Every structure is written in C-alpha cells, then in structure tokens.
Structure 1
Amino acid sequence: MPPAKANLFSLPNPLSNIEVFEPLFDKGNCLIERIISSGQITPAGEWYDQKRDEWVILLQGQARLAYEDGSETALESGDYVLIPAHCKHRVVYTSAEPPCIWLAVHLD
C-alpha cells in the first residue's frame, strides 16, 4: 500500500487557540514536526532549553525568536535557523494572519 499523501500548507479549520505540534516523522535520533502558530508566544519568563539541536524553517508567516543573551532573530517566510541544544530561547511573536507554519527538525 502506498504511503498517504499530506500537505504542509493545509490548515485545520477552524484554527485552534493553542499552538499545534504535529509529529511527521519520529525515529531514532530524528524528530520532524510541523508547528502551527497563530499569535501564540512562549509565556513570559519561560524558556525552551532543549536537549537536541533544532533546525527550524518558517514556511509561512512572520515570527521572532528571543535568546537568553538578549538577542533576537526576526523570521519571514523561507527563513531558517539552527538552534543548538541547550540554547535557551523563546518565541516572542507569531503572526496570526497569515498563521505561522513551521517545519522543525530535532536531531541528537
């Protein structure tokens, strides 16, 4: 039986009030997930401190990441960034229109 087809740009209707994390592939030391954000940010004072490297590309929308050292990275459609393991970061902005569609690859 052939694998099922899916589309990264297909959005749930209606969009949720919470961020959607959808694993697309999870095997061994690699997790690929689609994330849909529509205005959600990391709560104040909280940081992501992941044990794996994360390569992330913003496929649609605009977003901004902040880092513990005070720097920020603005992202537009097509921009990508590699976030090393244990690099504390947070999402401080995501566009609601259009919603953000991220593709994240987590690697050991």
Structure 2
Amino acid sequence: MIRNLYAAMPEDLDEEHFDALARSEDVTIERIVSRGHSSPASGWYDQPQHEWVVVLQGEAVIAFDSGDEVALGPGDHLTIPAHCRHRVAWTAPEQTTLWLAVHYRA
C-alpha cells in the first residue's frame, strides 16, 4: 500500500504527533509533526538506540546536554548517537515542521 508522508497531517496539535511508519526488533521509522512544540525544559531524551532525523518541512532546533544547538531546515539531517542527551528546543510556531526519524539499534 502506498502512503504519503505529507497526507493526513493533524491540524490541531496540542502536542507533537508521532506516527510509527515501520517497526522491527532493530529499527523504528516514525513521522513526527510539530508546530511550535519543544521538549519540556527538564525533559532530556537519553535513548538506548541511535537516531537519524531529517526535517522535511519547517524548522527546528535540537539542543544537546553539552550546550551545543543545531538548527535544522528542510533537507537538513543529523545522527544522534545512543545515550547522547538531547531535546527539541524549538520548532517554528507559524508552520508545520515535518520530521522523519529512524531509530536503530546501537
């Protein structure tokens, strides 16, 4: 079955929206939809798996526990190693930010 990443994006977002697109024991691929969302100030992600993420539309900033920040726009991607503490510091409030994230075993 063919599906479209840009189809059926939620309009009213009280919080980020996550859709698992494919999942196995070693890999999870998900679509994330944000609009002005960020992680809670005390909410660092510390994941046991690596994460590769790409912004397909919109803008975002990822902050790291080290103090570094990375701004992402359409087409920008990065790999976040397992147990690298990070959070979403900002997503564009006036537009939808569409992410594709691939989580894979360390």
TM normalised by structure 1 equals 0.92
List alignment gaps of at least 5 residues for structure 1.
Answer: none
**Partners of 2:8 and 2:41 in 1: how far apart?**
27
Computing the radius of gyration from Cα coordinates, the structure with the larger value is 1
Aligned counterpart in structure 2 of residue 23 of structure 1, from 12, 20, 28 = 20
Structure 1 residue 13 displacement after superposition: 4.6
Q: Where do 4+ consecutive residues of structure 1 move more than 6 Å?
A: none
List alignment gaps of at least 5 residues for structure 2.
Answer: none
In structure 2, the CA distance between the partners of 1:6 and 1:89, relative to structure 1 (3 Å rule), is same
Q: Is the 8 A contact 1:17 1:38 kept in 2?
A: no
- Determine the structure 2 residue equivalent to 1:106: 103
**Partners of 2:45 and 2:11 in 1: how far apart?**
27
Aligned counterpart in structure 1 of residue 37 of structure 2, from 26, 40, 61 = 40
- Determine the structure 1 residue equivalent to 2:88: 91
> How many residues are treated as equivalent by the alignment?
105
- Determine the structure 1 residue equivalent to 2:3: 6
Structure 1 residue 14 displacement after superposition: 2.5
**Partners of 1:37 and 1:80 in 2: how far apart?**
16
How much identity, in percent, do the aligned residues show? 44
Per-residue deviation, residues 60-93 of structure 1 (Å, max 9, x unmatched): 0000010001000000110000000000001010
**Partners of 1:74 and 1:54 in 2: how far apart?**
16
